[in-house]
Structure 1
Amino acid sequence: MKNIWFYIASVVVLLGFTACTDEEDTSPSYADQNLFASSESDHSEMAELKRSFYKETGSYLLLNDTLRNEQNGTDAYGNTIWNTELVDLTYPVIGESTSYRYTYKYIKDVEKSKLAVNLIKEKLAARLGKAVPYSFLIVDSITTWTNNNGIWQIANGYSDIPHPTEILGTRCYAISTNGDAGFEDEDYFTTIFKKIVLNKVQRLSANKLSSFYSYGEQYYLVDKSDINIPRGVNDSLARSMGFWKDENYYYLAYKQSDLKYFSDAVCTYSPSEVENMMADYPLVIEKFNILREIIKSMGIKVKD
């Protein structure tokens, strides 16, 4: 009998520990909600556009940076308390930090929104293939703010761009049409595509890029005069050494710019075009093909 009463008492105590207390936070966690997707009850034109975009690209579509804005009770003075969550483009990759903030001007016109969505779908998402981001935020313009001794100011344009065309976050790419520039300039999204690809390539491990860099390891940042090369800019000589171009009067290629030139070339030219352009420079062709295969392996679609 004592054992039975001990068992009953233990169950009661355990139940007491699992019961809610006055201090416990019982507000919904929203862990089961995908805030990047439209509500199932939303059948508006924009909601359907977002569903279609996801179905076709595998990436969520945002037309503003607010993921959630719900009333969550009132405070002691009767003021409404809002539960708001924004998509955070400054959310860092592990080990990184940022002192930037971004604000956005939205595209208000429905038809212009549709046009912008179609352009991003055709010129970015289709070309990125499996490498599309988790979501795209499409806006009219982006403003960069920097922290200057605790005061947020618009970027000055010297070291930071005040109105960038894109911000590449870890779970969202913000893409600006920069007013009407994105609709009028045929190269506008091509330039953004190159920046996205370069950003992805730069994040690869050193091991992934070792074969590409192996051609230039002995030359990167070497003073031309130290190896009896006349100072000046000589593309032909640089290409004979495996570089896309000669960019500096005093030094041979920078490692970062070497990668950028070839990454941009992979985004622009087919192998046959490069073979014709660089017929006299076999090392350039080899490096182009190496980086092209690396980029293709990421799921990005390049010219055949």
Structure 2
Amino acid sequence: MKKIYYIILLNLLTVTFSCSKEDDLEPTDIRYDYFTVSPDANDEESILRRKFYEDHNIHLLFNDTLRHEQRGTYADGTPHWFTELLDLSYDITSTKNETRFTYIRDHQKQKEGIRYAETYILPHLDKELRPYSIFLVETLEEYGWRWNTVAYYNGKRCLALAIQGIAELEEEEIKERCIDIFYNIVDSKTNYYDEELNDFIALGNKLHGETFESAGLSDDPTDEEIYAFGFLTWSTWYQEFPSESSDFTSFLKAVFYQKEEDFKVQYASYPLILQKYDIMKEVVKQKGYIF
């Protein structure tokens, strides 16, 4: 019995001393942010990118190749290269449409793209809404059922902006073009079930998705009858009030696509609509949009 005891004690002491002699653990692969400009780069494009990050804390890209580095060689001596691309459509939780684009090759056009972002985009986005990076491109297309030319693409870690034709647009036309961008950014960061929208949803008086009949209306109510309940949209096919999601979307679009003065004149006789509009606009501000 004593022999067994001594063997166990010896093993414990061995483990203790072995552990005490181990070196401190160190990370073997420190993650480098490949959106960052190399500190050694001093070409014109890198200088533009570095200054943009210093000014706005947003990475600026003109190329979708984040890194292209050699990782050893194959058996025949051929170099093994690893390439990491931006992948605009990358998303962990959902599938997004494919994109394709052309680069801005001209240095002066790159400067114009920066001016576009700094003048018309960034002044309206507080830090909560600002993208991790901005990818400036000449042209941009998104694939749905076919390839369509688009002005922007709001990805998970990058906002891509196409600059083709920007120089020919009037200032008001550029501002209108940006409204789509702002709406998409805020919409992607907001949901009808967010706590800030509890009061908005409550003003629906539990009629979301309910039939017109449940509110004492006919199957074919007038617009004015629906407005009186505080809704901008409804389903004539199913003869019911909008879902919470549809109600949210209709007012969010109203905030971005209608001038407040015009909206409040149009719906002046419907206090519930005006209340919901004011709540939505305040939520948009809280999310980080600057009007």
Q: Taking structure 2 as the reference length, what is the TM-score of the superposition?
A: 0.76
Distance 2:113 2:261 in 1: 33
The corresponding residue for 1:97 is 94
- Once the two structures are TM-superposed, the CA of residue 228 in structure 1 deviates from its matched residue by 2.3
Change over 3 Å in CA distance of 1:193–1:300 after alignment to 2: same
- The partner residue of 1:132 within 126, 130, 133 is 130
SS of the residue 2:125 aligns to: helix
C-alpha separation between the residues in 1 aligned to 2:141 and 2:262?
A: 38
Q: Is the aligned partner of 1:285 residue 2:285?
A: no
Give the corresponding residue for 1:180.
Answer: 165
Q: Deviations over 1:156-192 (max 9, x none)?
A: 24xxx65444332322222334x42686343222222
Are the counterparts in 2 of residues 57 and 121 from structure 1 also a CA contact under 8 Å? no
Paired residue for 1:170? 156
Quick one: structure 1 residues 242 and 12, their matched pair in 2 at CA, closer, same or farther if it must change by over 3 Å? closer
1:13 CA displacement? 8.0
Q: What one-letter code is carried by the residue in structure 2 that aligns with 1:210?
A: N
Could you say if the C-alpha distance between residues 280 and 55 of structure 1 is closer, same or farther in structure 2, counting changes exceeding 3 Å? farther
Query: Which residue of 1 is the match for residue 110 of structure 2?
Result: 113
Change in 2 beyond 3 A, CA 1:230/1:193: same
Quickly say closer, same or farther: Cα 1:99–1:241, change in 2 above 3 A.
closer
Q: Give the aligned partner of residue 51 of structure 1.
A: 50
Is the Cα–Cα contact under 8 Å of residues 133 and 157 in structure 2 kept in the other structure?
yes
Contact 1:233/1:246 (<8 A) preserved: no
Contact 2:68 2:82 in 1 (8 A): yes
Asked if residue 255 in structure 1 is aligned to residue 241 in structure 2, the reply is no
Match of 1:295 among 276, 284, 287: 284
> In terms of Rg, which structure is larger?
2
Q: How does 1:171-210 map onto structure 2 within 5 Å?
A: 171-177=157-163, 179-180=164-165, 184=169, 185-186=173-174, 187-202=176-191, 205-210=193-198
CA contact (8 A) 2:154 2:184 kept: no
Q: Does the C-alpha gap of structure 1 residues 266 and 54 become closer, same or farther in structure 2, counting only changes over 3 Å?
A: farther
- Matched to 1:68, the amino acid is R
Q: Could you say what secondary structure the match of 2:110 adopts?
A: helix
Q: Is the 8 A contact 2:233 2:241 kept in 1?
A: no
Q: One-letter code of the match for 1:169?
A: G
| 1:208-232 Cα distance to aligned partner (Å, 9 max, x none) | 3222112225333334356423526
Is the contact between residue 136 and residue 173 of structure 1 (CA under 8 Å) also seen in structure 2?
yes
Provide the C-alpha distance between the structure 2 equivalents of 1:125 and 1:58, rounded to a whole number of angstroms.
Answer: 11
Larger deviation, residues 135-144 vs 284-293: 135-144
How far off is 1:10 after superposition? 4.8
Counterpart AA for 2:159: Y
Gaps of at least 5 residues in structure 1 are 19-25, 145-153
Seen in structure 2, the aligned counterparts of structure 1 residues 275 and 12 have a Cα distance that, compared at 3 Å, is: closer
- The amino acid across from 1:301 in the alignment is I
CA RMSD of aligned residues (A): 3.5
Unaligned ranges ≥5, structure 2: 1-9
**Secondary structure in structure 1 of the residue aligned to 2:280:** helix
1:76 aligned counterpart, secondary structure = coil
Match of 2:200 in 1: 212
Matches of 1:215 and 1:106 in 2, distance apart?
48
Matched-pair identity in % = 26
Runs of 4+ in 1 over 6 A off after TM superposition: none
> 1:197: how far off?
1.5
**Per the alignment, do residues 247 and 67 of structure 1 end up closer, same or farther by CA in structure 2, a change over 3 Å counting?**
same
* Paired residues of 1:53 and 1:121 also in contact (CA < 8 A): no
